Chains A and B, each alone.
Chain A
């Protein structure tokens, strides 16, 4: 996944979003499984009136800034007072021992590296964290410390909730920041995994760019060719065999299930009924039948 970098360095921190307003206008927040999981972690500990008000704040622009520095997310949220409240959310960095055991767990399952490398956020990660007694998503006060300058005694208050939602949506686009909050970036994780696999560092040779992407050599126009064979098809056509009845599997299955759902359904499953309809129609265009 090409994570779009909309953070920017500005002095002493990283702005996560310039104008932190939720894009989602109604309903749940977070489209990807990890951000949904992140929201769930919040919703398991918060009470619903505060959460829904927090969500409204996140949508109506009450969160005026949000930035990240050294494991701390700091945000300003406008409330009933003239000065905005300050919300801080501190994720606990895992120490090197904890990371070691997480990386060990990851290295033990090639599927995690396989998915990370092919641009996915592996669902198997959660299980790895759990197996070493940690959690990728904040689950307890140990993991995450939140505070707000508002007078509400409850934690999370609506301001904290608002920031949470903003973060969740941001994770949609930047899943690997979840690692960052725990003290390690995606590249660092991949590096560590690479070391675990024992691929000798010394053999690293920078990949040469041989212009492989220039797929086909540019074909130039040759008037001689035109004059010689302007009207005729190539002889290849005589041996061109059609394969209407070769094995046929809906190509969408190649994509596997979609990484998101719509209306609780996988998009691939929603679209698959299109295939037999199209197949039948296309065969109908050919005057052929197969009774044998």
Chain B
């Protein structure tokens, strides 16, 4: 993975686009937009030109810059970049182009007539298609780099993928480039089975690609020459040809040339030499006889769907022999299918008979239907030479075929016929659910010595097993089955049912199975994999029978036959679990008691922390959890949150926080923690102090925000995976099943080896699912991880019935060291000054200090004014961004409130850079018009997902029901004001749960005031509605109590 430094200078945003211009068919172009605007349209006087004048695009990214960015991704490989320029029309408003990263503005403004298409000139770089193919996989790395990938470029990644797929599926044939030359090329074949995808791909092309392909000319204006269909068609054609050519220049295929060949033949041949990559340099244009070219073309056109379009399609139906008939011959019968009414299929017999009504309907516009039919058969016989045998009669209606030939007809011929536009009707057992042989695996209950000392299994416990193979409901021993597979026949009838298989493959697979489990034993993990996927490679289905006992229990659970026993929550748990939470706790308990790792991936806000705490209390009381401490590893930003959650839900547990400069090390640490129930530390410390941490054999290891180990190569991720622990649990709110790299790391932490090595996983699952939307691979993976991942989402009302419409959650954040230092200094200064002053002066000192403290909690830059705003300097922002990440991953929208207008502006910029997408902003200075536009755009379905609002401007009357997350970055102290802001989202029209996140810096005055509000102390009443004046009336001691930093307020820097 290559990470590109996308931020070019300062915080420039760069969007990279791509387009293909059929006028330069062997090149692909890139261009870019940045938010660094320069120039504009100079005002001109004089006569208005017929077509708008061309002006330089003010946001264009220079060719050098584009090259630099792209080369960053390609790892500096020697691609020949060509610099160029292109002019194209873009939607524009007020004499400036609307940029791609503000698309929603364009979307809402259509109604207004102020927008028009205007021509803009911009810089491009291009490379040839061969380089593009080489660059293809690496272009995906752009998504994880700092630049934004425009939809236009994303689109072409699909088109490249589709072209590569056609080559991989061998869907290309030779053709002459055009009628004028004898230059042969490879051209794609789009079969009828790909037609739909191809059309949908063409239909998805963003207009920008069309616009760029058509260009703009000052004399003729925008001429719509190339439609999306044509552009895609030309691209795929060129790309397929290029990929095949590249393959062959890599590995030339020798073309057999016989010495005795005649000259005319050699000449004809030289024209094909080029195709195979061998002797490509010997190619020279030759004058082939017209007859020969015509003959070749006839032959070649037989392969494309270019047959004359009749009223009907010719179909072939494979029919099984009669069950009790003597004759065991199969028949392929011929039918005619009406093109405009595919359900109307009539047997070929009728074409040879006097006409019927259907006949008349079907053939009303065809003079000689039987001739069309015969011509079709003539085409088909080229693909399927065996068909000729059926055409030796005057009125052919069917072809008899040997059982031995059926398999190749099913697997090879029928797809070819379908691609050539014929309909092939196959028996349902072939296409819908090809019956596969079943491996019946019969594990034996584990013997005692094979289990681990504690009597529990682990993922690697070995189980002995026997197996047999069943086919069509009949069971065979392995030897018997091999005998069956040895028969050349690939189609056997078992108990009246036909079963087809590729006997070569099946034998290979069976041997592979035998080799893998040569000693007749299987690891529990492997057994579970077989159980969840119910398949061994492609060839076998798998049935695992239950041996009873613990293994049986696990299997039953995976199958959903039984549910984990609902566990008892001890009264040491200070709270009440909702039913789905109790289910979650029971599930965690069940899996981990069997020695299996579990990942609880409930949506944000569903209470993973209380579930874990309840689990812990229950296990401590009711299971044989070792007496050693439990280790919780979490991001620094929420160390305080964990501490507070333990204190709230399990006040009886002793918690040790391992962080800070004076933290214990080595044996001292081991000794110190042995007296505690729970130890909390951060990912970075777990990495830094790994030797210390590994001195303890932990009863249970929990990773919160487990996506922190997503990159399995980082030291942090590797360190965490070495920590010795009896039980392993991962908590995360991101949809792990969709983030496949992360999923692997988490699963490897939980159940080592279950998903195989990362390399094979990447190839078999990550790329197919993420990049190519491979539904089969995705389904298989979901089955495999299913038993180990529990994810409930808020919207799933069948599971979560009792969730309130509005959930308020406090998010305790940790200060950074810088924040803590500034905070402490400010407190000290204030207290000193407060002591030394009186009256109005004291009041002023206190008020300004309180404001500064609050700003420091938000971000040090608000205090220092040094202008360097980034998220790592603020614990609160770190946490905010972590949570927004989850929001975006879940496809939700969020509003972020702050009371400081400048901070709102800074947040918008930070968020936009961080998430590479448009972030809306609203503050006091925003004009009414802009405000309305922003709201409308946020509310539209595909509009921006993040909206920063300064609380003071967060005006009454705004309707922002598109959001289902509301963040209050700083506190107003006045719940009424906060609620009013929150109600922008939580109001009539809101269909989802709204989650309100109140962000509080732990150990600071924010927490103190929150506690007061919570406990409704007398002071609280004074607070409400009175702003911050009340602070000024407090005694200095009282003030100290309120603003002092508590010990756990900050993490390591």
A153 lies within 8 A of chain B by Cβ: no
Instruction: Give chain B residues whose Cβ lies under 8 Å from the Cβ of A81.
Output: none
B690 lies within 8 A of chain A by Cβ: no
The one of A28, A32, A235 in contact with B295, judged by C-beta atoms closer than 8 angstroms, is: A32
B382 lies within 8 A of chain A by Cβ: yes
Interface residues of B in 127-149 (CB under 8 A from A): 133, 136-137
Interface residues of A in 263-292 (CB under 8 A from B): 263-265, 267, 270-271, 273-275, 277-283, 285-292
A173/B197 contact (C-beta < 8 A), A221-B224, A240-B204, A259-B299 known:
no
Stretch at the interface among B265-273, B612-620, B838-846, B857-865: B265-273
- Once the chains bind, are B383 and A223 in contact (CB under 8 Å)? no
A203 lies within 8 A of chain B by Cβ: yes
A10 to chain B, nearest CB (A): 22
Instruction: Give chain B residues whose Cβ lies under 8 Å from the Cβ of A28.
Output: 262, 264
The one of A200, A224, A291 in contact with B763, judged by C-beta atoms closer than 8 angstroms, is: A291
- Once the chains bind, are A286 and B370 in contact (CB under 8 Å)? no
- Once the chains bind, are B110 and A262 in contact (CB under 8 Å)? no
- Once the chains bind, are A197 and B394 in contact (CB under 8 Å)? yes
Stretch at the interface among B321-329, B384-392, B680-688, B743-751: B384-392
| Residue from B91, B291, B776 with most neighbouring chain A CB atoms (10 Å) | B291
- Once the chains bind, are A281 and B290 in contact (CB under 8 Å)? no
A53 to chain B, nearest CB (A): 18
Question: Number of B residues contacting the other chain (C-beta, 8 Å)?
Answer: 135
- Once the chains bind, are B411 and A247 in contact (CB under 8 Å)? yes
- Once the chains bind, are A271 and B272 in contact (CB under 8 Å)? yes
Instruction: Give chain A residues whose Cβ lies under 8 Å from the Cβ of B449.
Output: none
CA–CA, A78 and B528, complex, Å: 89
A52 lies within 8 A of chain B by Cβ: no
Stretch at the interface among A94-102, A106-114, A136-144: A106-114
B539 to chain A, nearest CB (A): 11
Instruction: Give chain A residues whose Cβ lies under 8 Å from the Cβ of B158.
Output: 237, 240
Interface residues of B in 189-211 (CB under 8 A from A): 189, 197, 200-201, 203-208, 211
Stretch at the interface among A18-26, A84-92, A159-167: A18-26
- Once the chains bind, are A254 and B420 in contact (CB under 8 Å)? yes
- Once the chains bind, are A27 and B265 in contact (CB under 8 Å)? yes
Stretch at the interface among B164-172, B470-478, B787-795, B873-881: B164-172
Instruction: Give chain B residues whose Cβ lies under 8 Å from the Cβ of A257.
Output: 382, 385
B212 to chain A, nearest CB (A): 11
A172 lies within 8 A of chain B by Cβ: yes
A64 to chain B, nearest CB (A): 21
A226 to chain B, nearest CB (A): 5
- Once the chains bind, are A227 and B91 in contact (CB under 8 Å)? yes
- Once the chains bind, are B168 and A283 in contact (CB under 8 Å)? yes
Interface flags for A147-173 (1: CB within 8 Å of B; 0: not) read 000000000000000000000000011
- Once the chains bind, are A207 and B168 in contact (CB under 8 Å)? no
CA–CA, A25 and B288, complex, Å: 12
CA–CA, A205 and B269, complex, Å: 45
Instruction: Give chain A residues whose Cβ lies under 8 Å from the Cβ of B116.
Output: 223, 227
- Once the chains bind, are A273 and B419 in contact (CB under 8 Å)? no
The one of B244, B265, B355 in contact with A278, judged by C-beta atoms closer than 8 angstroms, is: B244
B772 lies within 8 A of chain A by Cβ: yes
A255/B382 contact (C-beta < 8 A), A109-B392, A110-B394, A292-B764 known:
yes
- Once the chains bind, are B200 and A240 in contact (CB under 8 Å)? yes
Stretch at the interface among A37-45, A66-74, A117-125, A178-186: A117-125
A107/B394 contact (C-beta < 8 A), A227-B110, A255-B302, A285-B136 known:
yes
| Residue from B269, B377, B394 with most neighbouring chain A CB atoms (10 Å) | B394
* Least CB separation from A111: chain B residue: B391
- Once the chains bind, are A237 and B392 in contact (CB under 8 Å)? no
B1030 lies within 8 A of chain A by Cβ: no
- Once the chains bind, are B173 and A251 in contact (CB under 8 Å)? yes
* Least CB separation from A250: chain B residue: B170
B115 to chain A, nearest CB (A): 5
A242/B161 contact (C-beta < 8 A), A110-B391, A285-B133 known:
yes
CA–CA, A275 and B247, complex, Å: 10
Stretch at the interface among B248-256, B437-445, B649-657, B905-913: B248-256
Instruction: Give chain A residues whose Cβ lies under 8 Å from the Cβ of B374.
Output: 110, 113-114, 117
CA–CA, A197 and B353, complex, Å: 9
* Least CB separation from A219: chain B residue: B227
The one of B137, B247, B382 in contact with A286, judged by C-beta atoms closer than 8 angstroms, is: B137
- Once the chains bind, are A110 and B171 in contact (CB under 8 Å)? no
CA–CA, A232 and B229, complex, Å: 17
A4/B291 contact (C-beta < 8 A), A251-B419, A286-B164 known:
yes
B768 lies within 8 A of chain A by Cβ: yes
B85 to chain A, nearest CB (A): 20
CA–CA, A185 and B788, complex, Å: 76
CA–CA, A194 and B367, complex, Å: 11
Instruction: Give chain A residues whose Cβ lies under 8 Å from the Cβ of B775.
Output: 241
B580 lies within 8 A of chain A by Cβ: no
A187 to chain B, nearest CB (A): 12
Instruction: Give chain A residues whose Cβ lies under 8 Å from the Cβ of B419.
Output: 251, 254
A79 lies within 8 A of chain B by Cβ: no
CA–CA, A183 and B207, complex, Å: 61
A82 lies within 8 A of chain B by Cβ: no
A31/B161 contact (C-beta < 8 A), A244-B169, A248-B168, A285-B133 known:
no
- Once the chains bind, are B763 and A289 in contact (CB under 8 Å)? yes
Instruction: Give chain B residues whose Cβ lies under 8 Å from the Cβ of A9.
Output: none
B604 lies within 8 A of chain A by Cβ: no
- Once the chains bind, are A234 and B247 in contact (CB under 8 Å)? no
The one of B100, B295, B388, B395 in contact with A1, judged by C-beta atoms closer than 8 angstroms, is: B295
- Once the chains bind, are A254 and B302 in contact (CB under 8 Å)? yes
A242/B165 contact (C-beta < 8 A), A27-B265, A28-B262 known:
yes
| Residue from A197, A232, A252, A279 with most neighbouring chain B CB atoms (10 Å) | A232
Interface residues of B in 413-431 (CB under 8 A from A): 415-416, 419-420
B622 lies within 8 A of chain A by Cβ: no
CA–CA, A267 and B256, complex, Å: 10
Instruction: Give chain B residues whose Cβ lies under 8 Å from the Cβ of A115.
Output: 378, 381
Instruction: Give chain A residues whose Cβ lies under 8 Å from the Cβ of B263.
Output: 25-27
The one of A2, A25, A197 in contact with B370, judged by C-beta atoms closer than 8 angstroms, is: A197
CA–CA, A234 and B776, complex, Å: 24
Interface flags for B155-194 (1: CB within 8 Å of A; 0: not) read 1001001101101111111100000000000000100000
B41 lies within 8 A of chain A by Cβ: no
- Once the chains bind, are B169 and A248 in contact (CB under 8 Å)? yes
Instruction: Give chain B residues whose Cβ lies under 8 Å from the Cβ of A117.
Output: 371, 374-375, 378
The one of A173, A227, A262, A290 in contact with B290, judged by C-beta atoms closer than 8 angstroms, is: A173
A229 lies within 8 A of chain B by Cβ: yes
* Least CB separation from A208: chain B residue: B365
A230/B290 contact (C-beta < 8 A), A110-B391, A290-B764 known:
no
B511 to chain A, nearest CB (A): 16
The one of A221, A278, A290 in contact with B167, judged by C-beta atoms closer than 8 angstroms, is: A278
A26/B110 contact (C-beta < 8 A), A113-B371, A233-B205, A281-B250 known:
no
11 A-B pairs with C-beta separation under 8 A: A1-B295, A4-B290, A25-B263, A115-B378, A173-B290, A200-B354, A241-B772, A248-B170, A254-B303, A291-B760, A292-B537
Rank and list the top 7 A-B pairs by shortest CB-CB distance, nearest first. Answer: A27-B262, A118-B378, A256-B382, A289-B763, A234-B204, A281-B247, A111-B391
B contact residues vs A (CB 8 Å cutoff) = 89-91, 98, 100, 103, 106-107, 110, 115-117, 133, 136-137, 150-152, 154-155, 158, 161-162, 164-165, 167-174, 189, 197, 200-201, 203-208, 211, 222, 224, 227, 229, 243-244, 246-248, 250-251, 253, 255-258, 260-265, 268-269, 272, 275-277, 289-292, 294-296, 298-300, 302-303, 309, 352, 354-355, 364-371, 374-379, 381-383, 385, 388, 391-396, 411-412, 415-416, 419-420, 537-538, 760, 762-764, 767-768, 771-776, 780, 942
Given A109-B394, A228-B107, 12 extra CB contacts under 8 A: A119-B378, A200-B355, A216-B229, A229-B107, A230-B206, A233-B204, A239-B773, A240-B201, A240-B204, A251-B171, A257-B385, A278-B244
